Amino acid sequence: MQSVIRTISALAVLSVIGVSIAEFVIMPAYVRHNKYRVVMDVRGKSLEKAEKTISSEGFRSVIQDTVYSNQYKPGIIVDQYPLPDTKVKPGRTIRLKVARPEKLVKVPNLIGQSKRSAELALQQANLNLDTIYVEYNPDFPNGTVAWQFPKGGDELKKWLGVQITISKGSPPDRYIVPQLFGLDEEKAVQSLKEARLLVGRISYQQNEDLLPFTVLDQSISAGTVTDRAVKVDLTVSVEDLQDIHNKLMND
């Protein structure tokens, strides 16, 4: 019986010694072998500065991802992993997410399309339809896009707006003043008649740079749209007064 008691006592003593060795010798050595470092916060810093900071703290860095953003300058650290204040082993790799300039998208050409088609084209390009103007335009059918800004092929940031003008077609009873400058007098008069406009006063001005009887000016600018047949005065070139005399004789 005494032998059993002595054996139990010996085992108890050995257990105490073993626990003490583990607590005061083995565990401290293990902890020293596996000591940790606290991850620094490099968010908001430039990539170059962040990499230097990470390296000086005994860590490694790698760009894990890039993100298009207009909230951060290009090259700024948006996020990191592990997060700041995390306890990790020395030499741990810090993964970085870096901001890139927001990607631009090309503006589609909307000229000649219907309003609905233009809206769909802008949506597919990640853009919005901004201001819509409506006006008469004889060059484009009613309901189609006659003008846009920015023009097709330009680049914009995503979801910015594009302005368009929708044509109402030809105005009722429209009269459009033709371009007469540079035409000879007879052709200018004919152009006015074809446009259902009236020939106004014709005056003559000496000009040696152009052929005689070339239109130098017109009283109403080319492209002007009116709702009635107006008179258009013409200024015509001559070399000298003899040209006028000869013309009157021939007429």
Does residue 159 sit in the same domain as residue 110? yes
Does residue 110 sit in the same domain as residue 77? no
Bond from prior residue into 138 cis (ω within 30 degrees of 0): no
Does residue 74 sit in the same domain as residue 110? no
User: Could you tell me the residue range of the domain that residue 110 belongs to?
Assistant: 105-167
Whether 28 maps to a domain, the answer reads no
Whether 30 maps to a domain, the answer reads no
* pLDDT greater than 90 at residue 101: no
Whether 206 maps to a domain, the answer reads yes
CATH of residue 77: 3.30.10.20
Does residue 185 sit in the same domain as residue 145? no
Whether 137 maps to a domain, the answer reads yes
Q: How many domains does the chain have?
A: 3
* Torsion, CA 22, CA 23, CA 28, CA 31, rounded to 10: 80
Whether 223 maps to a domain, the answer reads yes
Of 117, 133, 167, which marks where a domain is finished?
Answer: 167
Confidence of residue 7 (pLDDT cuts 50, 70, 90): low
Burial of 96-118, coded b for 16+ CB within 10 Å and e otherwise, reads bbbbeeeeebebbebbebebeeb
pLDDT in tens, 156-197: 988 999 999 999 988 777 888 999 999 999 999 999 999 989
Does residue 121 sit in the same domain as residue 89? no
Whether 66 maps to a domain, the answer reads yes
Predicted confidence at residue 19, as pLDDT, reads: 46
Of 100, 130, 150, which marks where a domain is finished?
Answer: 100
Whether 121 maps to a domain, the answer reads yes
pLDDT in tens, 80-95: 999 999 888 888 999 9
pLDDT, mean over the chain: 84
pLDDT in tens, 182-192: 999 999 999 99
Whether 187 maps to a domain, the answer reads yes
Beta-strand runs (E) in 101-210: 104-106, 128-135, 145-149, 155-157, 161-167, 175-176, 198-206
Does residue 59 sit in the same domain as residue 82? yes
Does residue 221 sit in the same domain as residue 240? yes
Of 85, 100, 115, which marks where a domain is finished?
Answer: 100
Does residue 198 sit in the same domain as residue 246? yes
Confidence of residue 21 (pLDDT cuts 50, 70, 90): low
Cβ 76 vs Cβ 96: under 8 Å: no
